[in-house]
Structure 1
Amino acid sequence: MNDNSENAQGKQFRLLDFQSNCPDCTVAVGEPHEYDEYDGGCDVARCLVTGLQRLICDLDHDCGRDVWTGWWPGQLDCEQLGWMISPGLPDLNRLYTQATWDPARCAWVKPR
């Protein structure tokens, strides 16, 4: 599917459009993703120390409370870096393999 796909009603959409609520834990924009001590909580939430998915973070630190922005994690970073496969489709593989997470900015940046 590409960014020129249409749904059954003929409406054009992008793969990663803005969403007012998190697709997993349903929190609204500006709210922290749900966290559960037992199972980790939201699948979308990121560790603010590593930038990677909070659920798979097994490092001994506090991952912080990631806030839902309305955009899929990494999408705005890819757009900022110019790393898009096509309009509306960020190159997240490139982001996670070539960029560096800056915990102070909570953003992926080009490596120096």
Structure 2
Amino acid sequence: MTDIADSLDELCPDCHAEIGQAHTEGCDVARCLATGLQRLGHGPCRCPQDVWTGRWPGEAECAEFGWMLGPGLPDLNRLVTTATWDPVAYRWTRPSHATNGEGDAR
């Protein structure tokens, strides 16, 4: 079984940016760093360009929060609907209003 942290993709699956390089305009994988959502199709953006990290956006946070659907399969829908985007740190954070002690308000 491969751990998400151990498996980095050298190239973005859409625009083929290398790790540490900015995604190209029109890349489906690139995120808006102001909102954390897909950058494509939301109009002109003044935020810095997102760079390819070797992982799909949100994978690291899902693994950190324990929000996995199975081995190597992050629950990205849960992340986007439950977590909060931090536009300064450029990452998702656990909701502060957790009710069950696991960072989940469901």
Do Structure 1 and Structure 2 share a fold, with TM-score over 0.5? yes
Question: TM-score normalised to the size of structure 2?
Answer: 0.80
1:52 alignment counterpart:
37
Question: TM-score normalised to the size of structure 1?
Answer: 0.76
Matched, 1:97 2:81: yes
How big is the alpha-carbon RMSD for the aligned residues of Structure 1 and Structure 2?
A: 1.8
Name stretches of at least 5 consecutive residues in structure 1 with no aligned partner: 5-11, 36-40
Name stretches of at least 5 consecutive residues in structure 2 with no aligned partner: 97-106
Letter in 2 for 1:75: E
2:101 alignment counterpart:
none
Residue 69 of structure 2 aligns to a residue whose secondary structure is strand
1:83 alignment counterpart:
67
Aligned length: 93
CA contact (8 A) 1:54 1:63 kept: no
Deviation at 1:92, TM superposition (A): 0.5
- TM superposition outliers: structure 1 runs of 4+ over 3 Å: none
Higher CA-based Rg: 1
